[in-house]
A and B are shown apart, each in its own frame.
Chain A
Amino acid sequence: MAYDARFKVWRGDAESGQLCDFTVEVNEGEVVLDIIHRLQATQAPDLAVRWNCKAGKCGSCSAEINGHPRLLCMTRMSTFAEDETITVTPMRTFPVIRDLVTDVSFNYEKAREVPAFTPPQDVAAGEYRMAQVDVQRSQEFRKCIECFLCQDTCHVVRDHEDNKRSFAGPRFLMRVAELEMHPLDAADRVPAAQEEHGLGYCNITKCCTEVCPEGIHITDNALIPMKERVADRKYDPVVWLGNKLFRRDKR
């Protein structure tokens, strides 16, 4: 069952680097991370890779396999032909530290820019009551493992470094949506979604949804609903008038 596979693994740092060729044993049932570990054990003891759970739950082992942003630990070797050369590279969008390890602090900065959950003033802690139907939409977003594959794939920042300043990326626009849909969140997040977090940069081309290992429908369930909320507030005089006339602020 075991066979020898050809691998090209990117090695280097911010200054320089290249794809290095390896031939390495593959056994039945293995995932790409197993192969990277075998490389460390046998041929490249100083190969840098970030990982933790090997169960697709910690979000550490994000990289790109044959150009696809993926988790190393959730990509089965059986999905490749035995004669295929498999290319493993670090995430393109973030600064590389070494080999397959990137510096993802961009994401932590963007996370800090989203104001935290803001409970209503007239309800004391311990008195919060919520109905399941009211929270279930945001529960989908809570499945996020913060692998940042969506952030890596999104062309807004992947292809345009200069947009990093003004665009929070799908993961954090989804965080804004999660709080905006939260029945107890009292903050007004809609104008900021457009003006501060850069929702308008998203052109709903759905690559974030395609790569999300948790299968979260980021575009359909978070980004487009946020765009519709922004349209309510900024681009829809009918809704604006309705809100003025009938004081429909109790949603």
Chain B
Amino acid sequence: MTANVSETPRAPLPESAERAGRAQLPGKTLRTDRWWLQPTLTVAGLAVFVIYAGVRAFMGAYYWVPAYHYLTPFYSPCTTASCAPGSQHLGAWFGEFPAWLPYGIIALPFLLVFRLTCYYYRKAYYRSVWFSPPACAVAEPRAKYTGETRFPLIVQNVHRYFFYVAALLALLNTYDAIMAFHSPSGFGFGLGNLILLLNVVMLWAYTLSCHSCRHATGGRLRHFSRHPVRYWMWTQVSKLNTRHMQFAWITIGTLILADLYVMLVSAGAFPDPRFVG
């Protein structure tokens, strides 16, 4: 093929695409639907979570309701001497923290990286933040693309480790939610318990529906017939896995709800409606 094929004006294509003899189609996409809507909503949703979680993690207050032992998931485990008495379910491992250090510093980085390397969140931010691609059949803005073949994105392959840690932290959140059945007179049960429980159930659904979990329980096998128990587990995880995206968003909602509720009750904005105690 000759180098300079045509004088007619047309949309700029990468030179390599012209050489490949592709049809010279106009524009970066011919889609006529509102393809930009989903990335826009995704960015908005992620931004709300990141900002909310950031503000709350650094607030250092209103994370514990002493009367009912409500502890927000953002401060669990609370392991510094600065934590309110009773909120240190795993004990105080450190001395006083300066005000700028989040009390949940032990867990938060793991939870952050767990979600950052999650296959669903990767899809979400690759599309909506990095525009790679912004939507299907809509051209991405950058000329070079190497995907997850090299540093830094090759590091996404460590996701499974963060899954293991996240599973431990889900156990801890479960423990926190059980310890919260408390009142000054012993056992207690209020609206806050329902919210904390809902959050824990959803966290488990999100964590267990993880693709690395699906692989570890049975996905890596070649012969399901030789491993009936693992095959059964894989089947269950696979069922959850089809809803992994929904759980990713639902847990953003329940985490904010649980934290907001603890914050408001702890700040005395309203009393926790109690069913028992």
Seen from chain A, the residues whose Cβ lies within 8 Å of a Cβ on chain B are 10, 12, 14-17, 19, 64, 66-69, 84, 87, 89-90, 92-96, 102-103, 131, 133-134, 153, 155-156, 158-164, 181-183, 198, 200-207, 210-211, 220, 224-225, 227-232, 234-236, 251
Contacts and interface: CB of A to CB of B under 8 A. Distances in A.
B133 A207 contact: yes
Contacts of A161: 14, 16-17, 19-20, 22
B147 A183 contact: no
A96 B220 contact: no
Contacts of B159: 231
Contact of B132 (A64, A95, A155): A155
A68 B144 contact: no
A14 B1 contact: yes
A95 B123 contact: no
Contacts of B143: 160
Given A93-B22, A153-B136, A161-B19, 11 more contacts: A12-B24, A68-B31, A155-B140, A158-B137, A198-B149, A203-B132, A203-B153, A207-B137, A211-B136, A225-B214, A231-B158
A228 B231 CA distance: 17
B211 interface: yes
Nearest to B216: A228
B119 interface: yes
Nearest to A102: B23
B22 A228 contact: no
B225 A133 contact: yes
Contacts of B270: none
B211 A228 contact: yes
B6 A95 contact: no
A16 B220 contact: no
A39 B143 CA distance: 37
Contacts of B1: 14
Interface string B98-130: 000000000000000000000100110011000
Which residue among B20, B219, B241 has the maximum number of chain A CB atoms within 10 Å of its CB? Answer: B20
A161 B139 CA distance: 12
A148 to B, nearest CB: 14
Contacts of B122: 203-204
Contacts of B96: none
Interface string B137-169: 111100111111110011001111000000000
A205 B160 contact: no
B261 to A, nearest CB: 34
B6 A15 contact: yes
**Chain A binding surface, main DSSP class:** mixed
Interface residues of B, number: 60
Interface in B10-40: 14, 16-17, 19-26, 29-33
Contacts of A15: 5-6
9 contacts: A90-B23, A134-B222, A134-B223, A159-B133, A200-B148, A201-B149, A203-B123, A203-B126, A205-B123
Which residue among B5, B143, B225 has the maximum number of chain A CB atoms within 10 Å of its CB? Answer: B225
Given A235-B158, A251-B220, A155 B133 contact: yes
B242 interface: yes
B221 interface: yes
Interface of B: 1, 5-6, 8, 14, 16-17, 19-26, 29-33, 119, 122-123, 126-127, 132-133, 136-140, 143-150, 153-154, 157-160, 211-212, 214-215, 219-225, 231, 241-242
A92 B123 contact: no
A153 B136 CA distance: 7
A153 B135 CA distance: 10
A200 B147 contact: yes
Contact of B133 (A16, A93, A205): A205
A227 B157 contact: yes
A66 B32 contact: yes
Contact of A64 (B137, B145, B158): B137
A234 B157 contact: yes
Contacts of B127: 205
Nearest to A10: B23
Given A67-B32, A95-B22, A228 B220 contact: yes
Contacts of B123: 203-206
Which residue among B17, B23, B145, B215 has the maximum number of chain A CB atoms within 10 Å of its CB? Answer: B23
A26 B26 CA distance: 26
